[in-house]
A and B are shown apart, each in its own frame.
Chain A
Amino acid sequence: MTKRARFENVSLSFETPKGRLNVVEDVSYDINDGDFIAVIGPSGCGKTTMMSMLAGFQRPTTGNVLFDGRPVAGPGPERGVIFQEYGVFPWLTVKQNIAFGLTLSANRVAAGERDAICDHYLGLMGLSDFASSYPKHLSGGMRQRLAIARAYAVKPQFLLMDEPFGALDAQTRSNMQNLLLKVLETEGKTVMLITHSVEEAIYLASRIVVVTARPARIREIIDVPFAYPRDESIQERPEFGELRSYIKQLVMDEYRAQQAQMRPASFSE
C-alpha cells in the first residue's frame, strides 16, 4: 500500500486579540491509497481545519502535511474537494459545471472526450435529464451529486469531503451515502470525509479518526471491520451497534469537554 497523504506532528494556531488559539495540536496519521478515512469529533473542534490543510487552503503552524511525499503548497486538481455548501456554479448549466474542470489548462481534454466524461458522470449521478438545466432548478441532493460529479471529472487521486451531506434531509442523505459507496466501488478513490454523524462514519469509512475537543488532537483511530462492497444491511449487524455506542461515547465525552471549556468567542473551525 502506498502512502498517499501524511500528517506529521501537525499543529495550527491563530493569534487572536484574546491570545493564542490552538485549533489543531500535534496530529499525526497516514492515509494510504484506497483508504476511506472518516474524521469525527464535536462540532467546532478543528476537524475541518485538518481537511483544509490537506486541501491546501491553510498551512500548518508547525509540522508537515504531505501529499505524495511533498508538503502541500496549495489547492490542486489531484485533491478534489466536496464542500458542504456544494459550491456548484450557478451561472453554468449542470453539464457545463461538470465540464468546468476539463476546460482548464491544468486538465484540458479534447471536446469529444470532455463530452464523453460529462455524459458518463451525468448518468452515474442520475443527472442526465438535467444536463442543460441551471442549478437553481436542482434540489440540495442533486446539487451535491453535481458537485461530486464535477470533482470526479478531473480524475483526482484523492477526494476530500467536508460534511458533504450535512445539509440534506435524512432520506436524501442515506441515498447519497449509498450512491457514494457505489461510485467508489466503480471509480475507486482515496477519501477523507469530515462528518459529525457516527453512523455515516461507520457505514462509509474503512478507518475512523476520532478527534478531541479543541484543540483537535487524535483521540483514537479505529479500524472499521466491514468489507466493501457494503450495503445498508450492515447497519443491522451487532458489531455496527457496538462500534456506534463506543464511538458515540467518545464523541460525547469530547463534546462535554468542549462545553466545559466555555470559550467566549466561537471560532468557525
Chain B
Amino acid sequence: MNGAGVRRFGLGLIPWVGAILLWYTVRWSGFVNVSLIPAPHQVAAKFFELLTKEGLLVDIFVSTRRVFFGVALGILAAVPVGFLLGWYRPARTFADPMINFFRALPPIALIPLVIVYFGVDEVAKLVILFYASFFSGVIVMYEGVSQITPLYIRVAQTLGASQAEIFRKVIIPLTVPHILTALRVALGVAWATLVASELIAAQRGLGAMIQNASTYFLLDVIYVGIICIGLIALIMDMILRRITARLLVWQDRVVA
C-alpha cells in the first residue's frame, strides 16, 4: 500500500474507532443500566464463540444467499420492466400510480399474506426479498432510463445505425449505469428487509438469530447479528462499487 492508500485507510478507520469509544463511554457513563449494553469486547468474544461453536457462518451464508437470490431475481425482473416504463412515456403514465402504490407498502406488512400463499419455507423469504428489490430497482431504472437524452440516438441515426444497432451500441451502454445503481439500491433495501423475511419462522439466518436471541434477551447475540448484517452489506456494496468503477470509467463521476 502506498502513502495515500494508508492515509485513506486511516481516515476511514477513525469513525469506527470513534463509534467504539462512544459505545464504551455510554456504557461507563452510568446513565444506562450496564446490563443493557454489552461491552464491545464482550460482543467480540460472543462473535468468536458463535463463529466456532454455534455455526454463525451458516447463518451468514443462509442470509447472504437469500439476499443474493432475492436481489438477483428482483433486478432481473426490474431491468426490463423499468426500461420499458422509462422508454415509453405512455407506459409510465399507465403504470406509475400502481408501481408507487406497491412500492409504498412496507414488505413487512405483506408477511401474513405471504405465509398464507407461500407457506413458511425458503420460497416465502425469497418472495419478500424479491418484492423489496423489484420495486426499489424498478423505480431507479425507469427514472434513469427516462432521462437518457435522445441526442445520442439521433447521432447514431445520422451515422447510419439501424434500430437494432442503436439498441445494442447506444441504449445498452447508456442503461448499464442505471442497472448498477438499481442493484446497489436493491441490495440496501434487501438487507433491510432480511430480518423481516426471516421472521417467517426461519430456522437459520442472521434475522432468525436476532429474533431467537431477543426471545431469551441475549443482547450480545443481537449485537453480533446486527454488526454482521451491517458488515456484509458494506462488503457487498464495496464489491459492487468496484465493479461499477471498472465498468464506468468513462463517467464523469462514478455513482457513489
Is B151 in contact with chain A by the CB < 8 A criterion? yes
Cβ A136 vs Cβ B251 within 8 A:
yes
Cα(A154)–Cα(B151), bound, Å = 19
Cβ A106 vs Cβ B161 within 8 A:
yes
Is A75 in contact with chain B by the CB < 8 A criterion? yes
A43 smallest CB distance to B (angstroms):
19
Contact of A81 among B155, B249, B250 (CB under 8 A): B155
Residues of A within 8 A of B251 (CB): 90, 136
Is A225 in contact with chain B by the CB < 8 A criterion? no
Q: Which of A85-109 contact B (CB under 8 A)?
A: 85, 87, 89-92, 100-101, 103-107
> Which one of B63-71, B167-175, B227-235 is at the A interface?
B167-175
B163 smallest CB distance to A (angstroms):
11
Cβ B250 vs Cβ A90 within 8 A:
yes
Cα(A56)–Cα(B157), bound, Å = 10
Residues of B within 8 A of A79 (CB): 158
Contact with A along B102-146 (1 / 0, CB 8 A): 000000000000000000000000000000000000000000000
Cβ B252 vs Cβ A150 within 8 A:
no
Is B159 in contact with chain A by the CB < 8 A criterion? yes
Interface size class of B (residues with CB under 8 A): 20 to 34
Contact of A85 among B151, B160, B162, B250 (CB under 8 A): B151
Q: Which of B235-256 contact A (CB under 8 A)?
A: 249-252
Contact with B along A59-100 (1 / 0, CB 8 A): 000000000000000111101110101010111100000001
Residues of A within 8 A of B174 (CB): 91
Cβ A91 vs Cβ B154 within 8 A:
no
Given contacts A136-B250, A136-B251, contact A81 B158 (CB under 8 A): yes
Cβ B250 vs Cβ A76 within 8 A:
no
Given contacts A83-B151, A87-B154, A87-B155, contact A101 B250 (CB under 8 A): no
Is A55 in contact with chain B by the CB < 8 A criterion? yes
Cβ B162 vs Cβ A105 within 8 A:
yes
Is A134 in contact with chain B by the CB < 8 A criterion? yes
Cα(A42)–Cα(B32), bound, Å = 74
Given contacts A87-B152, A87-B154, contact A104 B252 (CB under 8 A): no
Cβ B155 vs Cβ A83 within 8 A:
yes
Residues of A within 8 A of B160 (CB): 76-77, 101, 104, 106-107, 154
Cβ B154 vs Cβ A89 within 8 A:
no
Is B49 in contact with chain A by the CB < 8 A criterion? no
Cα(A166)–Cα(B131), bound, Å = 49
Cα(A55)–Cα(B157), bound, Å = 10
Residues of A within 8 A of B159 (CB): 77, 80, 100-101, 104, 106-107, 150-151, 154
Residues of B within 8 A of A90 (CB): 250-252
Cβ A81 vs Cβ B154 within 8 A:
yes
Residues of A within 8 A of B162 (CB): 104-106
Cβ A134 vs Cβ B250 within 8 A:
yes
With most chain A CB atoms within 10 A of its CB, the pick from B156, B159, B169 is: B159
Cβ A55 vs Cβ B249 within 8 A:
no
Cβ A136 vs Cβ B157 within 8 A:
no
Q: Which residue of A lies closest to B252 (CB)?
A: A136
Contact with B along A29-70 (1 / 0, CB 8 A): 000000000000000000000000001110000000000000
Return the 5 tightest CB-CB contacts between A and B, nearest first.
A106-B160, A77-B160, A101-B159, A75-B157, A87-B155
Given contacts A76-B160, A79-B158, A91-B250, 6 further A-B contacts (CB under 8 A): A81-B154, A83-B155, A101-B160, A103-B169, A104-B159, A106-B162
**B residues within 8 Å of A by Cβ?**
151-152, 154-162, 165, 169-170, 173-174, 249-252
Question: What are 20 A-B pairs at a CB distance below 8 A?
Answer: A55-B158, A56-B157, A75-B158, A76-B158, A77-B158, A83-B155, A87-B154, A87-B155, A100-B159, A105-B162, A105-B165, A106-B159, A106-B162, A135-B250, A136-B250, A136-B252, A150-B159, A151-B158, A151-B159, A154-B160
